[in-house]
């Protein structure tokens, strides 16, 4: 069955207090939206549709030249409305992978596993979930006898539902034909006055369709960005992944907590990074280099064996 992807990128990001489109805020050197698109790409969807809305001119300019289709949600009326707007662009796709454009920690392998679960279970919908100590603002997964029955948004949940620890990660695979009529039937009868995509789950169940939830192995993958604090947090976690990768590939990092290595950098074996080093952009460091404490390198190329003194700033050499 042919897979299409729908990336929801129309959000306003009010709490960011910004003039920049929410999904274009950089985390660890790349816009949030780019991280999501790169997570989707290995699945090779037949079509990738990006739903834009708030400050859409900025997002459209960023996406120029990329292999995506852009659809406009105007006015923004919730996630259910966003997917409804995207459906015509998915013509020819039987499956739709739907995910938020502000979740840069999502990994391709988790998306692959979700698609595989959908196919194995012959479901109408498969969704990612996570089990948290505190569900916080996330929608709760309501089950009966182990089967997924509904998703209830936290704002609309009863005290009993708020006690549920399994939450919705906001990533779905849908059978397009089976959700099409349900999207048209959605109503904004909730605390937000929006068309919730989550209501489609209960609609599928009511029609006798199967809905399955796959728990994330690492709940951090579901983290989205609504505040500057959350933006800093996901950037820190992305950086930790990159630092760990280079440690596992022959690079000595004295203090991972204070070292910053952006994803576009390459580092040769037996290179040493002292505390507080920042490698930005497209740095290329040969083998056996040593970068002194609290140095900042941007788009720098270093020959093998180069020694960089502490407190050095270098750019594009």
For residues 147 and 16, give the distance between their C-alpha atoms in angstroms, rounded to a whole number: 37
Domains in the chain (CATH in brackets) are 3-222 (3.90.550.10), 249-315 (2.160.10.10)
Determine the pLDDT at residue 13: 86
Tokens representing residue 96 in the block: 């739709």
- In terms of Cβ atoms closer than 10 Å to its own Cβ (0-12, 13-18, 19+), residue 50 is buried
Residue 58 CB partners (closer than 8 Å, separation 6+): 20, 21, 24
- In terms of Cβ atoms closer than 10 Å to its own Cβ (0-12, 13-18, 19+), residue 170 is buried
Determine the pLDDT at residue 66: 95
pTM of the model: 0.94
For residues 132 and 24, give the distance between their C-alpha atoms in angstroms, rounded to a whole number: 28
Determine the pLDDT at residue 192: 83
Angle at 22 between CA 101 and CA 151, to 5 degrees: 50
Determine the pLDDT at residue 125: 98
Tokens representing residue 301 in the block: 């190329």
Tokens representing residue 71 in the block: 């659809």
Determine the pLDDT at residue 76: 87
Q: Could you list the pLDDT tens digit for every one of the 317 residues in the chain?
A: 899 999 999 988 889 999 999 999 999 999 999 999 999 999 999 999 999 999 999 999 999 999 999 999 998 899 999 999 999 999 999 999 999 999 999 999 999 999 999 999 999 999 999 999 999 999 999 999 999 999 999 999 999 999 999 999 999 999 999 999 999 999 998 888 899 999 999 999 999 999 999 999 999 999 999 999 999 999 999 999 999 999 999 999 999 999 999 999 999 999 999 999 999 999 999 999 999 999 999 999 999 999 999 999 999 96
For residues 133 and 130, give the distance between their C-alpha atoms in angstroms, rounded to a whole number: 10
Give 226-274 as a DSSP string: SSHHHHHHHHHHHHHHHHHHHHTTT-EES-TTT-EE-TT-EE-TT-EE-
- Measured CA to CA in angstroms, residue 112 lies from 68, 91, 285 at distances of 19, 22, 33
Question: Which position has the token pair 């040969």?
Answer: 286
Q: What stretch of H or E contains 184?
A: helix 176-185
């Amino acid at each position: 069955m042919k897979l299409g992807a729908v990336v929801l990128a129309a959000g306003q990001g009010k709490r960011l207090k910004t003039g920049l489109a929410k999904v274009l805020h950089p985390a660890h050197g790349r816009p949030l939206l780019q991280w999501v698109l790169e997570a989707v790409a290995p699945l090779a969807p037949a079509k990738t549709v990006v739903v834009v809305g708030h400050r859409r001119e900025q997002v459209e300019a960023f996406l120029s030249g990329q292999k995506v289709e852009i659809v406009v949600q105007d006015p923004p009326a919730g996630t259910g409305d966003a997917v409804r707007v995207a459906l015509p662009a998915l013509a020819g796709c039987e499956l739709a992978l739907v995910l938020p454009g502000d979740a840069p920690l999502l990994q391709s392998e988790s998306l692959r596993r979700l698609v595989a679960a959908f196919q194995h279970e012959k479901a109408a919908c498969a969704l990612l979930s996570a089990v948290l100590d505190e569900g916080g603002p996330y929608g709760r997964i309501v089950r009966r006898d182990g089967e997924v029955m509904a998703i209830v948004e936290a704002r609309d949940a009863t005290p009993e539902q708020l006690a549920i620890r399994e939450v919705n990660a906001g990533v779905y695979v849908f059978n397009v034909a089976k959700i099409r009529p349900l999207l048209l039937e959605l109503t904004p009868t909730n605390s937000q006055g929006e068309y919730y995509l989550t209501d489609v789950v209960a609609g599928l169940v009511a029609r006798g369709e199967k809905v399955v939830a796959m728990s994330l192995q690492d709940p951090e993958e579901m983290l989205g960005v609504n505040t500057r604090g959350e933006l800093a947090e996901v950037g820190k976690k992305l950086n930790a992944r990159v630092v760990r990768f280079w440690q596992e590939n022959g690079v000595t990092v004295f203090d991972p907590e204070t070292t910053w290595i952006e994803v576009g950098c390459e580092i040769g074996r037996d290179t040493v990074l002292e505390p507080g080093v920042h490698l930005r952009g497209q740095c290329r460091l040969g083998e056996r280099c040593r970068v002194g404490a609290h140095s900042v390198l941007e788009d720098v190329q270093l020959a093998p064996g180069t020694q960089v003194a502490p407190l050095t700033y270098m750019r594009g050499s």
